[in-house]
């Protein structure tokens, strides 16, 4: 693959990611949460047990202080609750509140609908190959850090 083709691939990947997220954000605009806040709720819903703030920050891919501000806002809306972590008095565990569950269900429904529209007509074998390529790129990125 030439330098030009690599550059084009990287630019397409970046544009795809930004455009996909922008369209999802547009579709979620009426729920009254910023992209950062609905993303935190979505990540939090994927944990089987209440994660620590640092585990959640790592999952979302943001710094601890940024997450703390987002959690302050979400806690103020009654969507999450922070509890003392019995195993470490310095840590806080983050739990979803009942009020967040219908909201998360709506976010997931809208995200699933968009994903179905965007992947329509793509051969499953092509998607599998694409996932394989993405996993290799992610592994290469992890090896750098």
Q: What's the confidence (pLDDT) of residue 32?
A: 83
Domains and CATH numbers, the chain: 32-144 (1.10.10.10)
Q: With 0.75 as the threshold, say if the pTM is over it.
A: yes
Task: Check residue 145 and give its pLDDT.
Answer: 76
Provide φ and ψ at 96, rounded to 5°: -75, 145
CB-based contacts of 27, cutoff 8 Å, min separation 6: 110, 114
Residue with tokens 């579709």: 27
Q: Which residues contact 99 (CB under 8 A, 6 or more apart)?
A: 77, 78, 79
Tokens 């310095």 identify what position? 90
Three-class secondary structure of residue 83 per DSSP: strand
Q: What pLDDT is recorded for position 107? A: 93
Per residue in 88-113, pLDDT (tens digit) is: 778 889 999 999 999 999 999 999 99
- Which pair of tokens denotes residue 143? 């090896």
Name the pLDDT band for 10 (thresholds 50, 70, 90): very high
């Amino acid at each position: 693959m030439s330098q030009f083709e690599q550059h084009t691939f990287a630019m397409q990947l970046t544009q795809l990611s930004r455009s996909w997220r922008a369209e999802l954000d547009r579709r979620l605009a009426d729920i009254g949460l910023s992209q950062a806040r609905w993303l935190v709720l979505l990540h939090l819903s994927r944990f089987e047990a209440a994660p620590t703030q640092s585990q959640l920050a790592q999952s979302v891919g943001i710094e601890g202080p940024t997450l703390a501000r987002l959690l302050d806002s979400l806690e103020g809306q009654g969507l999450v609750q922070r509890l003392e972590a019995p195993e470490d008095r310095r840590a806080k565990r983050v739990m979803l509140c009942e009020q967040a569950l219908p909201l998360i269900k709506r976010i997931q429904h809208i995200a699933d609908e968009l994903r179905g529209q965007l992947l329509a007509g793509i051969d499953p074998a092509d998607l599998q190959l694409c996932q394989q390529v993405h996993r290799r790129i992610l592994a290469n990125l992890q090896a750098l850090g």
